[in-house]
Copies of this chain bind each other. A is one copy, B any other.
Amino acid sequence: MADLSSINCLGIIAGHGDLPRDIIQACQRQNIPYYIMAYEGQTDPKFVQGLLHDWVGLGQAGKTIKHFKTNKVDHIVMAGYFNRPAWSELKPDFKGVALMAKLVGKPMGDDGLFRVIVDFFESEGLIVISPEDLLGPKALVNLGNLTKAQPDEQALEDIKRGLNVAKALGAQDVGQSVVVQQGLVLGVEAIEGSDELIRRTASLKQEGPGGVFVKVIKPNQETRVDRAVIGPRTVEYAAQAGLRGIAAEADHVILLNKDETIALADSKGLFITGVCHD
């Protein structure tokens, strides 16, 4: 666990999704100064409005470091996910080319890729911290049921099947999540991401009790920079797809906006449950 009181300024590498917003709220609550690195074609422009930030191309590693130094950044956190970039977004500079050379052949989503990025920042004297260092351990999904609705026997079996499949996939460094209905694996995540997985499995839904969405972390996942999260959007998508609930690996998956997310699930009659894979 990082010592937050020693942070002079936190550099936030902001990708897609709800996590960057939660990180900023956590900084504000804890009076941690922050500066946002926004990436062209990735970070939502609306999100950074009114906040201290600069825009760079994904390949501009030298420019990124320069901005961090100008803003007295000493710690950084990587928040949100990045879509695989088009070449036009990369705009590599000198350090960017050197970094890219180390990343060649490493697929996006590969743990090796994230390790190389962490090593790069650390070699520049920056300390890479994990989102839950800021959000606190309360941000993680707890073991047990979190909502009024609970999984029934069929849902529990679907969760068990989902955990086995997701862990087998994770061991191959593919996805982190699956949708299972009545023992049937409706879909498996690869690079399309969890939201898109849920969306596309809506059309594969079978008659009878709805399915469950199961999310885990990969074995050996570099959790500082590649964090499994669920949040309000997961609940929205799951409800739209007719799923009955969400199971997430306890003590590993981040639950964004915990109270809001649980209230939303309750209002839609979905369960959220923290589970273990044995």
Binding site for B on A (CB under 8 A): 84, 86-87, 105-110, 164-165, 168-169, 171-172, 174-175, 178, 182-192, 200, 204, 206-207
Since A107-B184, A190-B204 are in contact, a sample of 13 more A-B pairs with Cβ atoms closer than 8 Å, ordered by chain A residue number, is A86-B207, A105-B182, A105-B183, A107-B185, A109-B184, A165-B169, A165-B174, A168-B171, A169-B169, A175-B185, A178-B190, A185-B190, A188-B188
A-B contact pairs, 24 of them (CB 8 A): A84-B184, A84-B206, A105-B183, A107-B184, A107-B185, A108-B184, A110-B183, A164-B172, A165-B169, A165-B172, A165-B174, A168-B172, A169-B188, A174-B188, A175-B188, A178-B190, A184-B191, A186-B191, A187-B191, A188-B189, A190-B204, A191-B204, A192-B204, A200-B200
Among A87, A107, A200: residue with most chain B CB under 10 A:
A107
Contact of A192 among B86, B110, B187, B191 (CB under 8 A): B187
Q: How far is the CA of A105 from the CA of B182 in the complex (A)?
A: 7
A188–B186 touching, CB < 8 Å:
no
CB distance B171 to A107 under 8 Å?
Answer: no
In the assembled complex, the Cα of A184 lies from the Cα of B168 at a distance in Å of: 17
> Across the interface, which residues of B come within 8 angstroms of A186, CB to CB?
190-191
| Shortest Cβ distance from residue A269 to the other chain B in the assembled complex, whole angstroms | 24
Task: List chain B residues, Cβ under 8 A from A87.
Answer: 207
Q: Give the CA-CA distance A127 to B224 in the complex, in Å.
A: 58
Closest to A110 in B: B183
Number of identical monomers bound together in the oligomeric complex = 2
Closest residue to A181 on the B side, CB-wise? B107
Enumerate chain B residues within 8 angstroms of A107, measured Cβ to Cβ: 182-185
Centre residue among A84, A164, A172, A200 by max chain B CB count within 10 A = A172
